[in-house]
Chains A and B, each alone.
Chain A
Amino acid sequence: MMSDRQIIDGCARHERRAQQELYNRYSRFLLGVCLRYATDKAEAEDILQESFLKIFFNIKDFSGTGSFIGWLRKVAVNTAITHYHKNLKYRYHVDIEEYVSVETGVTSFEEDFFTSEELYKVLNELPAGYRLVFNLYAVEGYKHKEIAEMLGIDTNTSKSQYSRAKAVIRNKLEKLGKLKNSYSENG
Chain B
Amino acid sequence: MRVRELFRQKLENAEVIPDVSVEADLMRRLALREFLRFIPSRFNIYYLGGLVAAGIAAGLLLFSGTGILNKKTPEKIINGQDSSAFAGFINIRVGQPLTVNVDKRADAPSNVVAINTVQEQKTGTGRVFVDKTGTRDTNNINPAGGIKSFTKKGLFSDSSVDSKKLKNGYISDGVLFEVSALKGCSPLKLHFINKVNSFDSCRWTFGDGGYSNQKDPDWIFDVEGEYKVVLQVFGHNGLQASSSVMITVYPRPKARFEISPEKAVLPDDEITFFNYSSNAVRFRWNFGDGNYSELFEPKHRYTKFDNYNVGLVVYSESGCSDSLVVMNAFSDSEYFIKLPNAFIPNPGGSTGGLYSSKSDEVAQVFHPVFSGVADYQLKIFSKLGVLIFESNDVNIGWDGYFKGQLCNSGVYIWKIRGTFINGEPFVNMGDVTLLKK
Contact = CB atoms under 8 A, between A and B. Distances in A.
* The 6 nearest A-B residue pairs measured at CB: A28-B15, A32-B14, A138-B4, A31-B16, A116-B10, A31-B18
A49 B29 CA distance: 9
Given A111-B1, A139-B11, A35 B30 contact: no
Interface of B is mostly: helix
Contacts of A120: 11, 14
Interface stretch (A51-59, A83-91, A93-101): A51-59
B21 to A, nearest CB: 9
Interface in B1-45: 1-4, 6-19, 22-23, 25-27, 29-30, 33-34, 37, 39, 41-42
Contact of A169 (B3, B12, B17, B26): B3
14 contacts: A14-B39, A14-B41, A35-B16, A36-B11, A45-B19, A49-B25, A52-B26, A53-B26, A109-B6, A110-B1, A111-B10, A114-B10, A116-B10, A169-B7
B3 A13 contact: no
B289 to A, nearest CB: 45
B15 A56 contact: no
Nearest to B22: A45
Interface of A: 13-14, 19-20, 23, 27-29, 31-32, 35-36, 41, 44-45, 48-49, 52-53, 56-57, 108-111, 114, 116, 119-120, 123, 134, 137-139, 141, 166, 169-170, 173
A114 B6 contact: yes
Contact of A139 (B7, B18, B19): B7
A44 B3 CA distance: 23
A138 B10 CA distance: 12
Given A32-B14, A108-B2, 15 more contacts: A14-B41, A27-B22, A28-B17, A31-B15, A41-B19, A49-B25, A53-B26, A53-B29, A57-B37, A109-B1, A111-B6, A116-B14, A134-B7, A138-B4, A138-B7
Interface residues of B, number: 31
A57 B15 contact: no
Contacts of A111: 1, 6, 9-10
Contacts of A49: 22, 25-26, 29
A53 B30 contact: yes
Contacts of B37: 57
A28 B18 contact: yes
Nearest to A122: B7
Interface in B291-321: none
A29 B15 CA distance: 4
Nearest to B4: A138
Contacts of A123: 7, 11
Contacts of B26: 23, 48-49, 52-53
B153 to A, nearest CB: 54
A111 B26 CA distance: 35
A147 to B, nearest CB: 14
B30 A19 contact: yes
Contacts of A28: 15-18
A111 B4 CA distance: 11
Nearest to A24: B23
B402 to A, nearest CB: 62
Contact of B1 (A32, A41, A108): A108
Contacts of B30: 19, 52-53, 56
A119 B33 contact: no
B129 to A, nearest CB: 62
Given A32-B15, A36-B11, A57 B41 contact: no
B398 to A, nearest CB: 55
Contacts of B8: 138-139, 141
B6 A119 contact: yes
Contacts of A13: 41
A75 to B, nearest CB: 14
Interface in B177-214: none
A9 to B, nearest CB: 13
Nearest to B37: A57
A14 B1 contact: no
B23 A27 contact: yes
A166 B396 CA distance: 68
Contacts of A53: 26, 29-30, 33
A166 B18 CA distance: 28
B22 A48 contact: yes
Contact of B12 (A23, A35, A57, A139): A139
A44 B178 CA distance: 69
Contacts of A166: 3-4
A35 B30 CA distance: 21
A99 B15 CA distance: 30
Contacts of A29: 13, 15
A137 B8 CA distance: 10
A42 to B, nearest CB: 9
A109 B11 contact: no
